[in-house]
Amino acid sequence: MTDGAPMLRPGRIGTVELGNRMVRAATSETMATEDGTITPALVDFYRRLAKGGAGLIITGHIYVERRGQYAPFQTGIESDAKVPGWRGLVEAVHADGGTIFAELAHAGSQSVVPGNTPCAPSIVPNAIFATRPEELTPDGIDAVIDAFGQAARRAVEAGFDGIHIHGGNGYLISQFMSPLANTRTDKWGGSAENRGRFLVEVYRAIRAAVGPDFPVTARIGMADPGAGGLTVADSLETVRLLQPEGLNAVEPVYCIMNSYLDNIRPYVGVGAGRALRDWAVERLWKPPSTEAYYRPFAKNIKQACPDLPVILVGGIRTTQIMSEVIGSGDADFVAMARPFVREPDLPKKIIAGRKGMVDCVSCNLCLEHEGQDGLKCWRKTTGDLVEHLRLRYLR
Ligand SMILES: Cc1cc2nc3c(=O)[nH]c(=O)nc-3n(C[C@H](O)[C@H](O)[C@H](O)COP(=O)(O)O)c2cc1C
């Protein structure tokens, strides 16, 4: 047993007690039907996660209105008709002892759904896909905020244990926060306070829908990676506003990105020997990324708001780092996305005494298949890898 390791201790987010501090970070499964309804395969997927022992499971991002759908086969919660499907999934997770938060999202200009005309705060081509969005009118902004509130109400009806707002990684909330994507001159643009207003109003609509005691957390884009964009000083202004209004935890990430690889960094902590054992030969000419790459953002939040719980995501790969980031007080929870794709039962193994590095080599094949195939690790077996190559070159 790894007795006493900080990530094994119970934790609390708002009113919810968690058995340990290991969180399955949101990872879009693209396993819904074309209209975003839950499928039996998705229920099985979450059942495996629940059995795997994570203290908290955060769903992949769920669109709150159809125009905000990111990718084909993403899940939606934009209508009451979606509630029964979600209820079945949540009940399956609860039956296996899991705790689950719904990640509510709107892709804005980052939608890659064919035929969709995306919306955004301003007519600025998306930084990753160069998609040209329509500009939201003030009434349109109010309607999107309302859609978040309605979605939160449905999440409560479905039995979720909490809401996680997707406010990072280039999606609509990030587009509002960043001066690179938001050039508005009304109350929704300009100063850091104005750019942060959309997130604050989304939070308020959700809080009003779920009541004061229901856990609400947020992934927040703390800064843009490039020059001239959102700064940590800007984003902390917004975080400082949300804490007294009852936000229960923050998961810091990048805001607007030029590539998904800014957030989903390749080959985290993978040495040459490990790469060769797993046929990840590309790693030999690409340098590994360092572990826990958003830790500086976590420290920024802890300095500004010491009592606000922080969930640290991004390249957490060894039990040593898990212990250290929580033990040092830099974060209260460690969240992992890709490691759970490879090992849904990772927490169970760590609880049983597993130490060292996770099996995932951060090769990002799982990301490559997003929107086309259901989420899985394509490197787990030789058969999966062969199938991946077949789909990549012969589809
Ligand atoms: C296939 C894939 C899908 C993802 N989907 C989401 C998502 O739905 N919502 C979200 O907030 N982040 C999403 N992410 C980002 C992860 O939550 C996480 O920030 C990133 O992968 C870095 O963490 P990791 O090193 O533990 O993988 C996704 C990542 C991958 C690889």
Number of H helices, E strands in the chain: 13, 13
Q: Which residues, in sequence order, are CB contacts of 285 under 8 Å at separation 6+?
A: none
pLDDT band at 1 (very low <50, low <70, confident <90, very high): very low
Cα(119) to ligand 1 centroid in Å equals: 23
pLDDT band at 65 (very low <50, low <70, confident <90, very high): very high
Average pLDDT of span 206-220: 98
26 in contact with ligand 1, CB cutoff 6 A? yes
Cα(26) to ligand 1 centroid in Å equals: 6
pLDDT for residue 2 = 44
* Active-site residue (options: 46, 171, 293, 294): 171
Cβ atoms of 224 and 256 closer than 8 Å: yes
> What are the pLDDT digits (tens) for 277-318?
999 999 999 999 999 999 999 999 999 999 999 999 999 999
Average pLDDT of span 91-95: 98
Q: Is 267 a catalytic residue?
A: no
pLDDT for residue 4 = 82
DSSP at 380: S
**Angle value at C-alpha 28, between 357 and 275, nearest 5 degrees:** 30
Task: Point out the least confidently predicted range of 1-5, 212-216, 248-252, 256-260.
Answer: 1-5
pLDDT for residue 226 = 85
pLDDT band at 204 (very low <50, low <70, confident <90, very high): very high
Average pLDDT of span 89-106: 98
pLDDT for residue 117 = 94
Whether the predicted pLDDT of 235 surpasses 70: yes
Average pLDDT of span 31-39: 98
Cβ atoms of 117 and 67 closer than 8 Å: yes
Domains, in order of start, for the chain: 6-394 (3.20.20.70)
The structure tokens 């975080």 sit at 239
Q: For residue 338, which atom of ligand 1 is closest to its CA?
A: 27
Whether the predicted pLDDT of 11 surpasses 80: yes
> What are the pLDDT digits (tens) for 123-176?
999 999 999 999 999 999 999 999 999 999 999 999 999 999 999 999 999 999
